[in-house]
Amino acid sequence: MFEGCAALNTGQNEFINELIIRNDTNSALYDVTLRVPEKDIVVSTNFILPYREYSLGFPALENKRNRATLSWVHNGMIFRQEIKTEIPINIDKNKTSRVVIRIRNDGQMHSAIETP
C-alpha cells in the first residue's frame, strides 16, 4: 500500500489515490493511527468526531497490499487491528479507487476499496 507507480495500467493491482477513515460511532475517536511497517509509513489524526471522517488524498499509487494496522481510542478503550481490505472482484483497474475504513461502536472495523 502507498508505493508509487508512474501511470495507471491494467496490471494486477488497483490504484489508490485516497484514504478515508469513517467514525460510524456515537462518540469521538482519538489517536487514530494507521501504520504500514514495511514502508515506514504512519498516518495519524488526533480525533474524528462522531459520524464524521478523516480523509487523505495523494497521487495515484499502485496498491502493493502491504500489511497495515489501525489503532484508535474509543470511550477510553484502546483498539488495534490488522487491516484486511476487501477488494471487489469487478473493480475497474483503469480507474483510481480509495480505501474506506469504517470504525463501528463494537470496536470493530471494516476496510474496503471503493471507486468513487
| pLDDT by 10s per residue, the chain, length 116 | 443 333 444 457 899 999 999 999 999 999 999 999 988 999 999 999 999 999 999 999 888 888 999 999 999 999 999 999 999 988 888 899 999 999 999 999 999 999 88
**CA angle, corner 12, sides to 8 and 16, nearest 5?**
50
- Residue 34 sits in a domain whose CATH number is 2.60.40.2890
Residue 43 Cα to chain centre, angstroms: 10
Number of domains into which the chain is organized: 1
Residue in this structure with the C-alpha cell 504512519, named with its chain if needed: 42
Label residue 107 exposed, middle or buried (CB < 10 Å: 0-12, 13-18, 19+).
middle
CA atoms within 13 A on the CB side of 3: 12
What is the C-alpha to C-alpha distance for residues 54 and 45, in angstroms, rounded to an integer? Answer: 8
Give the domain extent around 104.
3-114
